Amino acid sequence: MNDTQRAIEHCYAKGWTDGLPVVPCDAEALEAVLARVDRDPGEVLFEMPQINRAVTVRLAAVNAVMAGCLPEYFPVLVAAWDSLREEGYAGKGIWQSTTGTASLLLVNGPVRTQLGVNCAGNLFGPGFRANATIGRAVRLTAINALGLRPHELDQATQGTPAKYTACIGENEEESPWAPLHVDHGLAPEDSAVTAMTMRSTLHIEARHTGVPEQLLTDVAGSLARTGALLHQTVSACVVLGPEHAHLLADAGWSKRDVSRFLHEQSFVPREVLDRAGKGAVSAKSHWRVARDHPDAVVDAGPDPARDGISAMTSPEAVLVVVAGASNSGVSAIVETFGPRGGRPAVTRIAGV
């Protein structure tokens, strides 16, 4: 066994990996990463006060090296931690939840091409170093700095492949609309990261129609599935493939129109909820329960003329982005933990 192999096996023995081999971090590699940002190495980027643990710039840098990041990726990673802190959910302990949540990082602006962030084909799959290692660095840091190891502080019942890595870029070049960071007040020439707490990714196969309403009804049917309804409502990032986005835009639809339609069509009739044992909400936990549950309160829907609820709280709970290849009628729903009608944490990347 050579020195490199021994160093990798030492990291395994110490529990410093996500199950895959890591790159051992020496002083030279750490210094090269830290030099990429104008931040104090001791600055706290993210903390979980309930377990008295925190992520500093230095710890984020060490884990970036271990994840295989190039030094020039580090400003993106720091911005990702800033966005996760502003979003707020992970800091409250949702990363420890039985639900098995992960972080999704969405990258916008010129940094995508500068670093080779994949925005097109195989978007959620392997093959691109920037996507793989930037997303991986977040989870490695959660394991090593926050102690969120499976079977220990991470109590996910099944988890998700996104716990290894989930970092994508928006396909701005093939989108008919302004990109997400511009929608939220930044300039097109800015680079930005938006962090979301996600549960799962749901595939939408829709090659059958050129009618916007039919396409979006197909998407809405997936948004409104009862299996997603643990609490009163859910939220989602709808990742439209370029073909679907152009179909909608060519018919005069804006992203706001898409969000509004999906909110309206995410209605779930009470009888459907009842069949799944989710026709009411617990007055104590606010989780969905059967109507004969001792704590049950039947929640009112948005339309007094129809008995049921909207899976999406509001149009703002449906975030629309464009990503993937323009080679087929395929899109995806990323089921997110939040925000539910709030503004996503879009963080500008400094130093790139």
- HEC secondary structure over 258-297: HHHHHHHHCEEEHHHHHHCCCCEEECCCCCEECCCCCCEE
In a domain, 343, yes or no: yes
In a domain, 271, yes or no: no
Domain extent at residue 166: 3-266+311-348
In a domain, 327, yes or no: yes
In a domain, 203, yes or no: yes
For residue 157, which phi and psi values (nearest 5 degrees)? -70, -45
Reported as a single tens digit per residue, the pLDDT across 15-73 is 999 999 999 999 999 999 999 999 999 999 999 999 999 999 999 999 999 999 999 99
End-to-end CA distance of the chain: 39
Residue 94 has pLDDT above 80, yes or no: yes
Distance from C-alpha of 56 to C-alpha of 42, rounded to nearest angstrom: 6
Reported as a single tens digit per residue, the pLDDT across 289-345 is 999 999 999 988 777 888 999 999 889 999 999 999 999 899 999 999 865 666 778
Give pLDDT, residue 350.
76
In a domain, 186, yes or no: yes
Helices (H) and strands (E) in the chain, counts: 11, 14
In a domain, 68, yes or no: yes
C-alpha torsion 245→322→260→85, nearest 10: 180
For residue 336, which phi and psi values (nearest 5 degrees)? -110, 155
Give pLDDT, residue 88.
87
Number of domains in the chain: 1
Mean residue pLDDT across the chain: 93
In a domain, 282, yes or no: no
Beta strands in 81-208, from DSSP E residues, in sequence order: 102-108, 167-169, 192-205
- Read off the pTM: 0.95
In a domain, 59, yes or no: yes
Tell me the sheet residues that pair with 205: 330
